[in-house]
Amino acid sequence: MKIVLASTSRYRRELLSRLRIPFSVADPRVDETAVPGEAPEATALRLACAKALAVAKGQSDAQIIGCDQVAVAGGKILGKPGNHENAVRQLRELSGREATFHTALCLHDTRTGRTSTRIVPYRVKFRTLDEPAIERYLAREQPYDCAGSAKSEGLGIALIERMEGEDPNALIGLPLIALVDLLAEHGVQVP
């Protein structure tokens, strides 16, 4: 049976490779437009499932892994900043505040049609950040493709006061603990 990661994210690919199971990667090409009034957890779950099911159409005898993350602080959704100006704005808003990263996981078995899901929240409390610290960090790491503008697996850890959650991998984008559980439920043992 094949394992297919329905994501082009290098971060998710790196995380999944830690499990030392063979897998391939497929681009889900899913519209990630937010639905007005949808809760962040619901958005993450809807998109994770949409990604898995989109990739499943072209696969047989495979377990398809879909994943999505929505970050929220003060009731506001934090997307990927995309550029320096947006990253500065996000980090100013996060200074001294807590953000919750809702990472949803969907595992779809193309043989049986069975779909299993989990949502793994992870809370991050940011330090109080001054402008020079923000600029130094962004100059060194340029995390423009990360929701919240900080990579906890890199220098961004210096911006964080505390983290709370079941699985630190969820913060990076793929909750491996939950994934191992779902794979076992679908008959795939790791290791």
From the centroid of its chain, how far is CA 45? 11
Contact indicator for 47, 53 with CB cutoff of 8 Å: no
Q: Is 68 one of the annotated active-site residues of the chain?
A: yes
For residue 177, the surrounding DSSP H or E stretch is helix 176-185
Contact indicator for 126, 107 with CB cutoff of 8 Å: no
Token pair listed for 177: 């603990």
**Matching residue, tokens 């809807």:** 46
Q: 3-state SS string over 64-84?
A: EEEEEEEEEECCEEECCCCCH
Catalytic residue (one of 27, 31, 61, 68): 68
Give the list of residues 6+ apart from residue 89 with CB closer than 8 angstroms, or none.
Answer: 81
Contact indicator for 160, 128 with CB cutoff of 8 Å: no
Residues serving a catalytic function are: 68
